[in-house]
């Protein structure tokens, strides 16, 4: 299968490098990483060590592939969608955190759209070198009713052919909302308190994280997705415990003075709450605090706004 990975950062480089074991992969990213991959190939270390040679480019204009995976940060999805719209793809699949990405892609591209959640962990350590930080699962599903479920099965099988753990599911919207509840609970709280994920398993932060997750579940239900309060709260608590020594991606972004994915996480929950006439004071406050930090830090909002 020809696979184009749009967003060759941490996750895109890991998945692209692993997929290159079985497929014809092109990474779309930025220099100096792309230049390093073109010159010397892509090195994966960590869980396994692997040297691969996917193709790499900084410009996807007019490209084509059987599958386009989208692995940019959520604030870059609009740019990715516009670039993909100039090409020809059999399927487009978002593997990003947060909500709203699939709708942006579906509005732009003339192809079936899949949504996915990923629990693999990755970090770009140097140009041409990605660290594989944790095994996980890729869960895929058709985004719109018109996006055939058999397509999700076929793409999950393509991941498995490259020895990745992947499954197709019929309830991908619920899976995305559950992951959203986890991220809404863990990411801003750890970023603001500057603590590892494990700090959310006890007070004084456990109650705050739980409130964010439960509130997200209520908004999901108002949006037509059956996510119980306790399922969301338990998912957040379980992930915080299982990733106790991790710094969440938002904590890492804030520590490095980089823009966060707050708009697609707590910001999305607060926006959907407003549309459905619900209050979401916890998510709204967390979003305001992180946006306030971004503004104070002068973190660029040059992406899609």
Ligand X SMILES: CC(C)(CO)C(=O)C(=O)O
Ligand Y SMILES: NC(=O)C1=CN([C@@H]2O[C@H](COP(=O)(O)OP(=O)(O)OC[C@H]3O[C@@H](n4cnc5c(N)ncnc54)[C@H](O)[C@@H]3O)[C@@H](O)[C@H]2O)C=CC1
Contact assessment for residue 43 and residue 6, using Cβ atoms and an 8 Å cutoff: no
Interaction between residue 263 and ligand Y (CB under 6 A): no
> What does 9 bind: ligand Y, ligand X, none (CB cut-off 5 to 8 Å by kind)?
ligand Y
Interaction between residue 77 and ligand Y (CB under 6 A): no
**Considering only residues 159-178, where is the footprint of ligand Y by CB under 6 A?**
none
Report which secondary-structure segment, H or E, holds 69: strand 64-70
Q: Kindly tell me which residue out of 13, 77, 139, 183 binds ligand X, with binding defined by CB under 6 A.
A: 183
Task: For residue 73, indicate whether it is catalytic.
Answer: no
Q: Which two tokens stand for residue 225?
A: 């997705």
Q: Kindly tell me which residue out of 1, 5, 10, 100 binds ligand Y, with binding defined by CB under 6 A.
A: 10
**Bridge partners (DSSP) listed for residue 261:** none
User: Whole-number minimum distance, CB 220 to ligand Y, in Å?
Assistant: 19
26 or 248, CB closer to ligand X? 248
**Considering only residues 71-100, where is the footprint of ligand X by CB under 6 A?**
97
79 or 211, CB closer to ligand Y? 79
Omega into 49 within 30° of 0, i.e. cis?
A: no
Question: DSSP strand E in 158-268: where?
Answer: 166-168
Interaction between residue 105 and ligand Y (CB under 6 A): no
218 or 290, CB closer to ligand Y? 290
Identify which of 45, 101, 249 has the alpha carbon closest to the alpha carbon of residue 93: 101
118 or 273, CB closer to ligand X? 118
DSSP string computed for 151-207: HHHHHHHHHHHTT--EEE-S-HHHHHHHHHHHHHHHHHHHHHHT--GGGGGSTTTHH
Q: Where are the alpha helices (DSSP H) in 223-299?
A: 229-242, 249-255, 266-275, 281-296
The Cα–Cα gap between 138 and 119 comes to 7
Contact assessment for residue 27 and residue 3, using Cβ atoms and an 8 Å cutoff: no
Interaction between residue 248 and ligand X (CB under 6 A): yes
Q: Kindly tell me which residue out of 15, 19, 20, 72 binds ligand Y, with binding defined by CB under 6 A.
A: 72
Interaction between residue 25 and ligand Y (CB under 6 A): no
Name the one residue in this structure whose structure tokens are 């099965």: 153
**3-state SS class at 130:** strand
28 or 114, CB closer to ligand Y? 28
Residues found near ligand Y in the complex (CB under 6 A): 7-12, 28-30, 71-74, 76, 79-80, 96-97, 118, 121-122, 124, 249, 261
Active site residues: 179
Residues found near ligand X in the complex (CB under 6 A): 97, 182-183, 186-187, 197, 239, 243, 246, 248-249
């Amino acid at each position: 299968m020809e696979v184009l990975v749009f967003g060759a950062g941490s996750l895109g480089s890991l998945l692209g490098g692993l997929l290159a074991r079985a497929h014809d992969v092109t990474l779309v990213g930025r220099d100096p990483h792309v230049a390093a991959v073109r010159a010397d190939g892509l090195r994966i270390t960590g869980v396994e060590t692997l040297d691969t040679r996917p193709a790499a480019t900084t410009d996807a204009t007019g490209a084509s592939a059987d599958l386009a995976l989208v692995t940019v940060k959520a604030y870059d999805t609009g740019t990715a969608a516009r670039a993909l719209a100039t090409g020809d793809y059999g399927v487009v699949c978002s593997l990003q955190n947060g909500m709203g990405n699939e709708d942006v892609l579906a509005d732009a591209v003339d192809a079936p759209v899949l949504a996915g959640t990923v629990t693999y962990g990755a970090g770009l350590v140097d140009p041409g070198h990605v660290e594989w930080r944790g095994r996980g699962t890729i869960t895929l599903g058709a985004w719109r009713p018109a996006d055939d479920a058999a397509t999700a099965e076929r793409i999950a099988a393509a991941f498995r052919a490259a020895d990745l753990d992947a499954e197709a599911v019929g309830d991908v919207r619920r899976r995305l909302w559950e992951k959203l509840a986890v991220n809404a609970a863990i990411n801003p709280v750890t970023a603001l308190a500057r603590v590892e994920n494990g700090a959310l398993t006890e007070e004084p932060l456990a109650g705050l994280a739980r409130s964010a997750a439960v509130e997200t579940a209520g908004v999901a239900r108002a949006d037509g997705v059956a996510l119980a309060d306790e399922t969301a709260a338990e998912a957040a608590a379980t992930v915080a415990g299982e990733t106790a020594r991790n710094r969440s991606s938002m904590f890492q972004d804030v520590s490095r003075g980089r823009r966060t994915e707050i708009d697609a996480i707590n910001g999305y929950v607060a926006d959907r709450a407003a549309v459905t006439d619900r209050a979401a004071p916890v998510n709204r406050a967390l979003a305001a605090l992180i946006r306030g930090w971004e503004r104070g830090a002068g973190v660029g909002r040059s992406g899609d706004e």
